[in-house]
Amino acid sequence: MPCCAELPCMASQSDLAAKRFAAAATATASTILKKVPKRMASLLEMKEIFRNADAVCFDVDSTVIREEGIDELAKFCGVGDAVAEMTRRAMGGTVTFKAALTARLGLIRPSYEQVQKLISDNPPQLTPGIRELVSRLHQRGVQVFLVSGGFQSIVEHVALQLNIPTANVFANRLKFYFNGEYAGFDETQPTAESGGKGKVITHLKEQFHFKKVVMIGDGATDMEACPPADCFIGFGGNVIRKQVKEKAKWYITHFDELLKELEER
């Protein structure tokens, strides 16, 4: 945990976060979603890509787990309603992800102790079917990655439950002072900004020479990762994002649908 000689002023940090969020509110969903190709491939072609994928990348919040981790942390810290609205707007694509993350954390200001207590007292709940799907992908020799705008400590806890190596986790890192107080987040992480998930996938393709990578998630930041992902599968089993449901060529509501696809081969 970093050491800092001077703690930031809570009021000024929150005001700054609010101003950044307000300024970013002019960005519309189309700003993000226009990056998604109108026709990447037919549904049959996408299913073939999925069955032959080298790697599958999952979003975590509201996809691999039933909750939005940052919303759960906000409720735990007593600012749940305000942060939930910011999350809804961010995942819908109406503001940039980084602006929303900055604003939400500016309101929550979680301590190290609060984050750890949240994980121990209210561990994230896996979405039905995900454990079986990840296990089946592993059996087929497919690399599975968790690519999340959530927090590393929470996502690593999820990865452990799914037998996914922590090296395959890409998420945001909270920073704390030596006394455990909130000190911000690592803004250099690609997952801290819109387009970051696509950067992670590009990195994975370059590092491992994957030919076919699939991205699965519920939000606009997941859909905009295709390309460089070769296929995007929208997931609405926990929450339905209107823009994603309308734009995704392949949209599912239960992971059993993907398990059945794997059995086709």
Catalytically active residues, by annotation: 59, 61
Upstream peptide bond of 227 is cis (omega within 30 degrees of 0): yes
By CB neighbour count within 10 A (0-12 exposed, 13-18 middle, 19+ buried), where does 56 fall?
buried
Q: Which residues contact 69 (CB under 8 A, 6 or more apart)?
A: 60, 61, 124, 150, 151, 154, 155
Q: What's CA 249's distance to the chain center, in Å?
A: 20
Here the tokens at position 181 are 């107080």
DSSP states of 10-46: HHHHHHHHHHHHHHHTT--HHHHHTTS-S-S--HHHH
Q: Nearest-CA neighbor of 41 among 233, 187, 221?
A: 233
Instruction: Name 65's bridge partners.
Output: 126
Instruction: Name 143's bridge partners.
Output: 55
Instruction: Name 190's bridge partners.
Output: none
Q: What's CA 214's distance to the chain center, in Å?
A: 14
By CB neighbour count within 10 A (0-12 exposed, 13-18 middle, 19+ buried), where does 4 fall?
middle
Q: What's CA 220's distance to the chain center, in Å?
A: 10
